[in-house]
Amino acid sequence: MSLNKFSWVVVLHCLVLTLVFIFKVHGHSEVSVKFLKSPHSFSRLNSATFLFEVLVGGNGTCTDCGFSCKLDDDIASDCGPREVSYTGLLDGNHTFELCSNGSSGAGCSSYNWIVDTVPPTAYVTVSSSLTNELNVSVNISFTESCTGGGGFGCSSVNACNLLVYGDGQVIPSSLITLQPGLRYSLLVGLSTTVQYGRAVLVMDKSFCTDTAGNKFTRMKNSSFTVHFDRRSVFVNLRSHVPEKLLQLNSETRTVQATNNHENLKLFLYFSEPVLNSSADILNSLHSSQGAILPVEGKSRGNRRFGFMITNVSNIAIITINLDPKSIISRYRTLVSPIEPATFLYDSQRPAVRLSTTSSTRTRQHSITISIKFLKPVFGFNSSFISISGGHLQSFHEISRSIYITEIKADNDIVSVNVPENVTEDVAGNKNLPSNVLQVRHYSIPVISCLISAFVTAVFWATSVAAGLLTVSTASLLSAQAFSRPSSSLISDPARNLFRTACHIQVFALSRWLAVTLPVEYYEFTRGLQWSIPYFNLPWETGHIQPVMVGSSPPSSPHSYISKFNHLGVFQRQQSAKEGNLNKAATVYGSPLTPMEYRLFFESQDIKPEADYMGLHDLNGWKDFDRSMFWLAVIGGSLVLLHILLLLILKFRKRNYEKQRGYGALTFPRFEIFLVILALPCICKASAALLRDGVASGVTVGITLLGVASLLLLFLLLFLSVGITLGKLLQYKEVHQEGQIFHWYQDIIRVTLGPGKRGQWTWKKQPKSVYLIMLGPLFEDLRGPPKYMLTQISGGNPHKQSDRIIASEDETEDAEAPFIQKLFGILRIYYTLLESIKRICLGIVAGAYMNDWSSKTPTIILLSITSFQLFFLVLKKPFIKKRVQLIVIISVVCEVGMFASCFVLLEKEVSAGAATKIGILMVILFLVAFFALMTNEWYALYRQTKKLDPVEKSFLTGLKIVSYGFLLTILPQNLTRNIQSKFPLNRSGGGETLETSSSAGRNRSSGGGRSSGTTDKPRLKQLSELAKSSFSRESSGTPNDPSSSQTKWSGFWNENRSGSSSSDSKSKPKELYKDLEAIFAAKNLKN
């Protein structure tokens, strides 16, 4: 019975106030009916019995009345016995109608009641049968009011009409009456001692009755089961990508990789069913590559969802992230976060490249071959290498992508390659075929080794001889063995030897030019690498093959050795510049991170063709160490030796009243030579660091190149300000007027220069020592001249070519023409041009060490050297014609060498043609070398002769050299006898006598101009003495117009500092001072 019907019945029953009904009769007396037995107004029985009597007038019974009874809408029936029963009544309202008909009259009466046979029950409901809460709210709704027997109550846990079975209990204090007798609310607490369980809520039995008296009966909905689960909900992200186990640094890791697009399926498995749909979960998935689409499949009660990754590239490291914030389980629990899933999709076959340190040819019997795959491969071993012309000696696995093998050459041509499909990468892709690497094995040309050894021996023997001569000369000068030393005792041998060393350096550095050099020339230049210097470091061990063409270090900064599963152990060494990689997990089989996938399995960007490389450790720093270490050792040793010699000479200084100087050992003359020689080595090592691109190397390389550039700037400032503007130095040159030249002399003058005698003087006389110190920068070059004019007498030019006409003003200072000054300004920059060429050679040798097909370095150097040759021929910068000729020969040979390199780059030459070119390049070197060395030997010879100012004897000069050397090494008490044999002591008074007689001869040779009288004024005598000195010096010296030793320079500078070119014998001191004053005054007037 519904609640609305029940309310209506209650109202209806309230209207029934009596069981006695009064008939309304159509007679004179009242007839009344009295029900002796009738059902209750609310009956729980489906039967009813009526017993009644009829009273007439309220007292007697009606004896003659007839009765008819009617139930509801049924047909009336006779109920004479005054009792009627009904059964099988339906629940609801019923009406019993009784009618009588008698003598007293007729009338009808009715009786209404309600039949209610349905017992009261209650519905127990909870908002959700699945929860993770601690308490649940229970709603109890009765079907009808059930207040009989006390109704619903819950005073305590044990006295509550709502029973709880399982992991929970009621909370009595939470009882709320929503509608009296009908609706109630109550909290049930779920157990906190367990993570999951259930609680069964059920109503008590027969605890109340309704109005009809029906007892409460539990129905199906009178109970409710609540399941609770507070456990975390997990999700497992799975894919069809195959898994492999690798060991990384003793940690077993899981690697997922595939080359099949069908394997790019993802499945999410939840530990509990979730309330979200597939579309909701798709919105929570994020992929680093491609797009994610759902796929059809069994959901297993919303526990499983499938997806597919599409639109990915050939090689992709895919990372899948799940955002669980919007995914909830049926217990209303949020899904726990999970780590991203990362795997590798790679459908590209690994390429492989073979490289060697030997270029296309090698002199080593064991050829080292590097096998480098595009990416790590598994299962590769030495049996997969195809070799012809040799046999395998060793095989080493450097990493899963780099293998090193050594092959013994059996034939002239060794061919190596790796066939295709012999190994595979981690994704299962088979390898592509490698390039076919062919190496020509050759024997070292004996002639190249002999020539380089001969050149080295000759140079060092000459250097030792020049060094001993320099030390001896410096010792003699320090001991005042010469009254007026010549500048040739200081500069000539040193400058010639310096030019020779620079020439050797140029050819030695050409070894690193970006060209495949002929074997004959390459082996020859290897023997000259001491001039750079470039050697293996003392602590380097093991066999290191020469880098004939270039070095190509691995592209990856990491070196590691990997082993697949049971094959071995995966060891990885990471470069310091990348830092230490943080390990996220040490659990067995934990997956790799995206960074680790990138580190171990990402493709390397390599060229498919062969790359002839150097060893892996021959990088910029190794090249830098090999050059700078030996440069520091050799250069430092020479500087220390120089300092030691200076200390020895300084210690002996106190034994002499006046010390003239140290000659060529003057500090820092020798150091300037060393710096100029060291610049190409420094630039080459710096460029090698810049080539690698490492931050520390770039910093050091830029710093050193900045130092080299700063030195060039200082040189430019010195030449510009000090010489061009004339702030520090002045160049004076003899210009002889009226001199007649033959046609061949004109050719020589046009080609090699006029050969005028000149001298450098310092503007400030007290600082003339700087002429020696800074001499390497300018002393053999012609500068902006100031002419010293002289006149040449007529007559036979062969007999009087150098004789000066006696006159009052035959010699004077004159400004040179503007064009001559301009040429002089340009000539002085030859030192800067030479330095720039050598620095550029060092830079390109280091920068292009790995690039062996570039024409840029060869073109740059060929252009600079060609311009240098043009500058030499056009400007003729050297004072001496002999030096000019030798330098031209040297530069021509260098141009020929660079031109040969350019030809080798431009054309494919055969082996025979390459041999001829190599021999030609060696010959070019030897031509210039012998020219330079001949000049050096001649300079040493002349200097040795000049040590004997009296007889000009070479043997006597050698004796004097030994005296000077003994002065350096012997104690002072043993050198007294040696000092008595000095040239100054041996000449005695002969100097004055010779001077006087020479003056007399020159006076007589003056013709009618000389009077021969002895009463000339003193000024006239001094002037004639000066003229005779010029005449005598000119006639007494071999006709060498290129000589820079101007015999007259003694008149212009008393403190000569080694730059005066006078070779004349000493004059009397007083007479010399007078001449000096006269010519100085005359110079001031001009």
E strand or H helix that includes residue 1035: helix 1018-1035
Higher pLDDT, 403 or 949: 403
Chain Cα centroid distance, residue 953: 66
User: Biggest alpha carbon distance in the chain?
Assistant: 218
Average pLDDT across the chain, whole number? 75
φ, ψ at 390 (rounded to 5°): -170, 180
Q: Provide Rg for the chain, Cα atoms.
A: 61
Reply yes or no on whether the pLDDT at 969 is more than 60.
Answer: yes
Give the dihedral sign, CA 574/578/579/582. negative
| pLDDT given for residue 1075 in this prediction | 40
CATH class of 235-346: mainly beta
Q: Among the listed ranges 247-261, 462-476, 486-500, 914-928, which one has the minimum average pLDDT value?
A: 486-500
Q: Are 98 and 37 in contact (CB under 8 A)?
A: no
Q: How far apart are CA 355 and CA 416, in angstroms?
A: 10
CA distances from 611 to 442, 606, 688, 850, 853 (A): 20, 10, 18, 9, 11
E strand or H helix that includes residue 521: helix 519-526
Retrieve residue 139's tokens: 């709603």
Q: What is the mean pLDDT of residues 275-301?
A: 89
| pLDDT given for residue 485 in this prediction | 54
Retrieve residue 195's tokens: 């993570």
Where residue 151 falls (left for φ over 0; alpha for ψ -120 to 50; beta otherwise) is left
| pLDDT given for residue 358 in this prediction | 61
Instruction: Kindly report whether the peptide bond that precedes residue 877 is cis, defined as omega within 30 degrees of 0.
Output: no
Q: What is the mean pLDDT of residues 977-990?
A: 52
| pLDDT given for residue 229 in this prediction | 92
Q: Are 354 and 435 in contact (CB under 8 A)?
A: yes
Q: Which pTM value belongs to this model? A: 0.58
Q: Which one-letter DSSP state was computed for residue 292?
A: E
| pLDDT given for residue 540 in this prediction | 74
| pLDDT given for residue 285 in this prediction | 92
Domain positions in the chain are: 3-115, 122-229, 235-346, 446-545+618-720+831-946
φ, ψ at 413 (rounded to 5°): -115, 125
Q: Tell me: the pLDDT tens digits for 586-625? A: 567 788 888 888 887 776 554 444 444 444 444 678 888 8
CA angle (77 as vertex; 73, 80 as ends), nearest 5: 140
Q: Which one-letter DSSP state was computed for residue 340?
A: P
CATH number of 3-115: 2.60.40.10
Q: Among the listed ranges 251-265, 382-396, 400-414, 939-953, which one has the minimum average pLDDT value?
A: 939-953
Q: Which residues in 108-122 are b (16+ Cβ under 10 Å) and which e?
A: bbebebbbbebbbbb
Helix (H, G, I), strand (E, B) or coil at 793: coil
Q: Among the listed ranges 7-16, 101-110, 706-715, which one has the minimum average pLDDT value?
A: 7-16
CA distances from 515 to 548, 622, 844, 859, 876 (A): 10, 22, 12, 12, 33
CA distances from 265 to 126, 241, 288, 292 (A): 41, 8, 15, 9
| pLDDT given for residue 322 in this prediction | 92
Q: Tell me: the pLDDT tens digits for 119-167? A: 899 999 998 899 999 999 999 999 988 888 888 999 999 999 999 999 9
Q: Tell me: the pLDDT tens digits for 51-61? A: 877 777 666 66
Q: Are 772 and 474 in contact (CB under 8 A)?
A: no
* Structure confidence at residue 800 as a pLDDT band (50, 70, 90): very low
| pLDDT given for residue 202 in this prediction | 94
| pLDDT given for residue 489 in this prediction | 56
φ, ψ at 253 (rounded to 5°): -125, 155
| pLDDT given for residue 852 in this prediction | 63
CATH class of 122-229: mainly beta
| pLDDT given for residue 905 in this prediction | 87
Chain Cα centroid distance, residue 1015: 90
Q: How far apart are CA 1086 and CA 1084, in angstroms?
A: 5
Retrieve residue 323's tokens: 């955002």
Identity at 1045, one-letter amino acid code: Q
